[in-house]
């Protein structure tokens, strides 16, 4: 059986798109009627962007886990919900059927309850890519607790900031995580994050690497022991908490142009409906397909297209613990071959990196099961697109270039695999319910085709950000205040002669490094923490594999203990401590001054040009406080 709201032709796409814009309430209520609700809504949607105040399916109650698990049990109980491929290809893989997922989620929901977790509590999850991470997420949702998953590459300091911001009382973690050759001591990072913390009452630790950990009496408990108690208590089911449509489902922190990450809040009903709808339509998922999304559940892509989208569709989702290049650069292709993967969804960075290894890793790998390929997270260059198309898809798999953001919850602009046309390096057309527009600096709409501008969205779709945790005003100023009555994405885009969108990248001070979002201000703050650093300015520059690299200009007046190179390493160490290894600059140039206007504003445009090696187009530097610093910087360029 296929999905009643799956778009199967170009004509149907146009038709559904028109209907979705003409009468969004009717369009979305029809789709929502296929889900399991405890109570139906009295209002499909109610919104204004000025506050912003955004509501979908108000009056309805539900639990997303009933939609992701319970409703599939009768027909798909013995089908695989999650297939897990471990980091080490020699370790046994695991298959978790819907029946077994139900049992595990219910058991762990009891564990949460036994440990005092209640509806609305914030639970921080810091784990590697193992099935228990998905189980922890779903158990939170079942009990109505708000999960906040933190990617394993963030430092103790970053975790501490997020725990504080969310006022989190519970943590779920592992002793350690395997990633390629590395063994990351997660619990020990959590212990560092908890120094001085006064809110966290309980840490639940799953055993993965059996690395030595310090279990603090009264605070830390083992996952396995807690499950054992539940088994002894004889519990098998856990009634799903009745959640209001607009109750928060989760918080996910993401970087912006300020120094502090914001907690993006998504709510239960709208997020569920939209991730399910986009999963089924963009990837053209068919029951039984094996969907392999290579993202980490610590990012929105993993939330929406490893966990909630596929499971709400009763699909089979493949969860991979390791990295694409270990034990060798053929790992993804081994996995595709081993499980007969049908849909592969990955980042341009991974594609470019694997492309660099040539054909050898592909030798002898049967990729014939693949039907659909996808990319996400950053613009894909044409060369990588063609390589992906020819070498992985063998010219027969449509590639979906999916544009979206943490704040959008699900895919907003993308072709629908094999149904709507693809164009290399173009996200193409909006999904039904999504109304993109391009505006100029003053917020005036740029009409017609073959134009470019700042990308905004006119009206809400069900999984749009509801608020930034603990600070609604921040949500308003960040996304809804730049242009009146529009959601501003922070991206620039072109609309080609056919009306297809091509996302060109951020127009704010946010970098996209290997598909990871990093705020320049955050990196600067971290660099400035280093003793001896007076000031710094961080910009992005084109990087062959990562998409963007991080270039830091640093004024340093301390004395170099050793030489400059050692100071550079100290600075990298500082950034690793404050944010995490993902934010480490690729280049650090020591400078005597930064180009500033008379009012003291750093002219990043000039620094960007220098980092990009576009020295011929530095523009007018005469308005600078001290134009001579530019020459110095150019001379010392790395």
Nearer to ligand WT7, 287 or 505 (CB): 505
Pick the binder of ligand WT7 from 87, 435, 512, 567 (CB under 6 A): 512
Q: Directed axis angle between helix 564-578 and helix 520-528, to 10°?
A: 120
| Angle at alpha carbon of residue 316, lines to 313 and 322, rounded to 5° | 130
Footprint of ligand WT7 on 251-270 (CB under 6 A): 254
CB of 31 to ligand WT7, least distance (A): 21
> Is residue 517 close enough to count as binding ligand WT7 by CB under 6 A?
yes
| The token pair that represents 155 in the structure block | 């430092």
Nearer to ligand WT7, 317 or 406 (CB): 406
Nearer to ligand WT7, 289 or 378 (CB): 378
Nearer to ligand WT7, 61 or 548 (CB): 548
Q: What are phi and psi of 238, to 5 degrees?
A: -140, 115
The stretch among 94-102, 196-204, 376-384, 557-565 that binds ligand WT7 (CB under 6 A) is 376-384
Dist. CA 150–CA 402, nearest whole Å? 23
The stretch among 104-112, 381-389, 398-406, 526-534 that binds ligand WT7 (CB under 6 A) is 398-406
The stretch among 35-43, 87-95, 489-497, 521-529 that binds ligand WT7 (CB under 6 A) is 489-497
CB of 301 to ligand WT7, least distance (A): 4
> Is residue 401 close enough to count as binding ligand WT7 by CB under 6 A?
yes
| The token pair that represents 2 in the structure block | 């296929």
DSSP letter string, 22-81: H-HHHHHHHHHTTS--SB--SEEEEEETTTTEEEEEET-EE-HHIIIIIHHHHHHTTSEE
Nearer to ligand WT7, 209 or 375 (CB): 375
CB of 492 to ligand WT7, least distance (A): 9
| Angle at alpha carbon of residue 137, lines to 116 and 460, rounded to 5° | 115
Total residues in contact with ligand WT7, by rule CB under 6 A: 22
Dist. CA 525–CA 527, nearest whole Å? 6
Q: What are phi and psi of 527, to 5 degrees?
A: -60, -40
> Is residue 406 close enough to count as binding ligand WT7 by CB under 6 A?
yes
> Is residue 537 close enough to count as binding ligand WT7 by CB under 6 A?
no
> Is residue 574 close enough to count as binding ligand WT7 by CB under 6 A?
no
Nearer to ligand WT7, 176 or 410 (CB): 410
Footprint of ligand WT7 on 337-366 (CB under 6 A): none
Footprint of ligand WT7 on 35-74 (CB under 6 A): none
CB of 503 to ligand WT7, least distance (A): 4
Nearer to ligand WT7, 456 or 618 (CB): 456
CB of 320 to ligand WT7, least distance (A): 17
| The token pair that represents 493 in the structure block | 């885009």
CB of 293 to ligand WT7, least distance (A): 11
Interface mask (CB under 6 A) for ligand WT7, residues 270-309, using x and -?
Answer: ------------------------------xx--------
Dist. CA 171–CA 201, nearest whole Å? 8
| Angle at alpha carbon of residue 427, lines to 425 and 428, rounded to 5° | 110
Nearer to ligand WT7, 77 or 505 (CB): 505
Pick the binder of ligand WT7 from 131, 374, 377, 549 (CB under 6 A): 377
SS3 content of the chain, % helix, strand, coil (to 5): 35, 25, 40
Contact assessment for residue 64 and residue 308, using Cβ atoms and an 8 Å cutoff = yes
Give the bridge partners for 267, in sequence order: 248
DSSP 427: -
> Is residue 522 close enough to count as binding ligand WT7 by CB under 6 A?
no
The stretch among 35-43, 98-106, 397-405, 478-486 that binds ligand WT7 (CB under 6 A) is 397-405
Dist. CA 489–CA 479, nearest whole Å? 7
DSSP letter string, 195-262: TT--S--EEEEE-SS-------TTTEEEHHHHHHHHHHHT----PPP-EETTSEEEEEEE--SSSS-E
> Is residue 335 close enough to count as binding ligand WT7 by CB under 6 A?
no
Pick the binder of ligand WT7 from 35, 283, 404, 551 (CB under 6 A): 404
Give the bridge partners for 593, in sequence order: none
DSSP letter string, 555-616: EE-S--SS-HHHHHHHHHHHHHHHT-GGG--SEEEE-S---BBTTS-B-HHHHHHHHTT-GG
> Is residue 148 close enough to count as binding ligand WT7 by CB under 6 A?
no
Residues at the contact surface with ligand WT7, assessed by CB under 6 A: 254, 300-301, 376-379, 401-406, 427, 489-491, 503, 505-506, 512, 517
């Amino acid at each position: 059986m296929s999905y009643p709201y799956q778009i199967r032709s170009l004509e149907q796409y146009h038709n559904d798109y028109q209907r979705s814009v003409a009468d969004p309430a009717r369009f979305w209520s029809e789709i929502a009627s296929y889900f399991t609700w405890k109570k139906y809504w009295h209002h499909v949607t109610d919104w204004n962007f000025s506050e912003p105040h955004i509501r979908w399916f108000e009056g309805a109650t539900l639990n997303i886990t009933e939609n992701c698990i319970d409703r599939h049990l009768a027909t798909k109980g013995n089908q695989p919900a999650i297939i897990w491929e471990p980091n080490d290809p020699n370790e046994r893989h695991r298959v978790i059927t819907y029946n077994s997922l139900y049992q595990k989620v219910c058991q762990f929901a009891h564990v949460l309850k036994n440990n005092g977790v209640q509806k609305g509590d914030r639970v921080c999850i810091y784990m590697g890519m193992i099935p228990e991470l998905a189980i922890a997420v779903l158990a939170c949702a079942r009990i109505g607790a708000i999960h906040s998953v933190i990617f394993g590459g963030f430092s103790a300091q970053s975790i501490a900031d997020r725990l504080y911001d969310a006022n989190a009382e519970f943590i779920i973690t592992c002793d350690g995580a395997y990633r390629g050759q590395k063994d990351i001591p997660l619990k020990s990072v959590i212990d560092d994050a908890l120094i001085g913390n006064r809110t966290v009452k309980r840490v639940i630790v799953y055993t993965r690497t059996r690395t030595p950990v310090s279990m603090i009496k009264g605070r830390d408990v083992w996952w396995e022991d807690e499950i054992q108690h539940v088994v002894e208590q004889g519990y098998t089911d856990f009634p799903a908490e009745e959640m209001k449509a607009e109750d928060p489902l989760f918080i996910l922190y993401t970087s912006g142009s300020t120094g502090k990450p914001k907690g993006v809040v998504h709510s239960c009903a709208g997020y569920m409906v939209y991730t399910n709808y986009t999963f089924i339509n963009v990837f053209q998922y068919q029951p039984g397909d094996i969907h392999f999304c290579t993202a980490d559940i610590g990012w929105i892509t993993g939330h929406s297209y490893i966990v909630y989208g596929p499971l709400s569709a009763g699909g089979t989702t493949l969860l991979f613990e390791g990295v694409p290049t270990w034990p060798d650069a053929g790992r993804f292709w081994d996995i595709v071959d081993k499980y007969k993967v049908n849909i592969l969804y990955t980042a341009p960075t991974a594609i470019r990196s694997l492309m660099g290894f040539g054909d050898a890793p592909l030798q002898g790998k049967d990729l014939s099961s693949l039907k659909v390929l996808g990319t996400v997270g950053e613009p894909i260059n044409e060369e990588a697109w063609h390589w992906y198309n020819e070498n992985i898809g063998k010219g027969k798999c449509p590639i979906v270039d999916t544009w979206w953001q943490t704040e959008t919850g699900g895919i907003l602009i993308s072709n629908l695999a094999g149904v709507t046309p693809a164009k290399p390096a173009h996200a193409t057309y909006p999904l039904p319910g999504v109304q993109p527009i391009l505006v100029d600096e003053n917020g005036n709409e740029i009409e017609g085709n073959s134009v470019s501008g700042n990308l905004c969205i006119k009206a809400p779709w069900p999984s749009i950000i509801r608020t930034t945790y603990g600070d609604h005003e921040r949500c308003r100023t960040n996304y809804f205040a730049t242009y009146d009555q529009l959601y501003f994405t922070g991206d620039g885009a072109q609309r080609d002669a056919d009306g297809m969108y091509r996302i060109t990248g951020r127009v704010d001070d946010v970098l996209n490094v290997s598909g990871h979002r990093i705020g320049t201000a955050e990196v600067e703050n971290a660099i400035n923490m280093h003793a001896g650093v007076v000031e710094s300015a961080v910009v992005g520059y084109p990087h062959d594999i990562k998409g963007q690299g991080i270039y830091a200009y640093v004024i340093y007046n301390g004395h170099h203990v050793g030489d400059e190179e050692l100071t550079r390493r100290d600075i990298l160490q500082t950034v690793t401590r404050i944010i995490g290894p993902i934010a480490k600059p690729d280049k650090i140039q020591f400078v005597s001054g930064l180009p500033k206007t008379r009012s003291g504003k750093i002219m990043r445009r000039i620094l960007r040009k220098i980092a990009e090696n576009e020295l011929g187009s530095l523009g007018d530097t005469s308005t600078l406080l001290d134009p001579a610093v530019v020459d110095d910087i150019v001379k010392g360029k790395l």
